[in-house]
């Protein structure tokens, strides 16, 4: 299995939205309608044009994964939207996406990464903890327990 990682392009939008929504539904991790997540309608503005990144992973020219980070402050970036197609999970693709995002953030001068996930997203929790992310808080948000992590680069 050969995966190619590249920057998001506007023509990817339909596939990226499908992957985003399916990923949240898989783990019952959506608060409201995931198709209405505002950042996903403005990927270029929020991620690419604001010292962030949004990448996709392709196998045979089909998008099977994605991930992003956005500027939080001058020293910190926030990892967002890591999704892996259900048919390609447990093959190390999440690790490839996270590693690419961390490398890019470091290249852009960020010193710390933050992120959050829900208690229902166990594979995500394991991935982040395996990569040195430390849990810094938990909070209930609209009946969903959110775990907040950070990592110093």
CB neighbours (10 Å) of residue 133?
22
In whole angstroms, how far apart are CA 3 and each of 10, 96, 98, 102, 109?
20, 9, 14, 18, 27
Is 132 a domain residue? no
Give the whole-angstrom CA distance, residue 54 versus residue 32: 23
Is 19 a domain residue? yes
CATH code for position 19: 3.40.630.30
Structural contact between residues 8 and 69, judged by C-beta atoms closer than 8 angstroms: no
Is 8 a domain residue? yes
For 79-114, the pLDDT digits (tens) are: 999 999 999 999 999 999 999 999 999 999 999 999
Structural domain harbouring 55 = 4-109
Is 131 a domain residue? no
- DSSP letter at 107 equals H
Q: What's the confidence (pLDDT) of residue 35?
A: 62
For 5-36, the pLDDT digits (tens) are: 999 999 999 999 999 999 888 888 776 666 66
Is 147 a domain residue? no
Whether the full predicted model's pTM is greater than 0.85, yes or no, is yes
Is 86 a domain residue? yes
Structural domains in the chain (count): 1
Residue 54's DSSP bridge partners are: 68
At 60 the three-state DSSP class reads coil
Is 120 a domain residue? no
Is 150 a domain residue? no
């Amino acid at each position: 299995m050969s995966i190619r990682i590249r920057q998001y392009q506007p023509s990817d939008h339909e596939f990226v939205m499908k992957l985003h929504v399916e990923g949240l539904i898989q783990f019952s991790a959506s608060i409201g309608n995931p198709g209405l997540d505002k950042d996903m309608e403005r990927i270029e503005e929020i991620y690419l044009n604001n010292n962030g990144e949004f990448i996709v992973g392709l196998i045979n020219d089909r998008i099977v994964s994605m991930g992003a980070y956005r500027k939080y402050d001058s020293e910190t970036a926030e990892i967002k939207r890591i999704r892996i197609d259900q048919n390609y999970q447990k093959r190390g693709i999440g690790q490839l996406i996270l590693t690419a995002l961390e490398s890019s953030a470091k290249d852009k001068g960020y010193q710390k990464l933050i992120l959050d996930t829900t208690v229902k997203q166990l594979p995500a929790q394991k991935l982040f903890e395996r990569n040195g992310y430390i849990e810094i808080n938990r909070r209930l948000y609209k009946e969903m327990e959110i775990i907040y992590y950070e990592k110093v680069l």
